[in-house]
Amino acid sequence: MTYQSGKPTTPPPPYSEHANPQQSTSTTPGFTAPGAQPPLPVHAGYDSASVSQQIPLLSSHDPLESYRLAEARARSRREFMKAILWGVAILAAVSFVTTLEIRGLLAGRTNGGT
């Protein structure tokens, strides 16, 4: 394949769904006779027996799962309580400042201010 200005000058080879074009029994690409199943592609070394031998089966039981769930619950309770305390602290600070402002305004009025 030769390239000219970054683009190939010859088209790529045609795409084939089958490794061997003679395996296909249909004459029209993508057409399968009614009632017949299309042939499945064969991949060497990837049948179910070889995969189970290559990859050990994973256990669905995690002995640390209950510990992790308990830790997550404790952490979420702790974070919730911290958020509540921050909210109360901010509310108290705003209330304190507001009270000082109101007292200052009332003290100015009683001393003859406008």
For the full predicted model, state whether its pTM sits above 0.85: no
DSSP per position, 32-95: --TTPPPPPP--TT-SHHHHHHHSPPPPS--TTHHHHHHHHHHHHHHHHHHHHHHHHHHHHHHH
Taking residues 89-111, what's their average pLDDT? 91
* pLDDT recorded at residue 6: 67
Taking residues 32-41, what's their average pLDDT? 65
* pLDDT recorded at residue 93: 98
| Highest mean pLDDT pick, 43-47, 55-59, 102-106, 110-114 | 102-106
Q: Within a domain: residue 92?
A: yes
Q: Within a domain: residue 19?
A: no
Q: How confident is the model at residue 112 (pLDDT cuts 50, 70, 90)?
A: low
Instruction: Print the domain residue range for 94.
Output: 88-114
Q: Within a domain: residue 94?
A: yes
Structural domains of the chain, count: 1
Q: Within a domain: residue 31?
A: no
- The whole-chain average pLDDT of the chain stands at 75
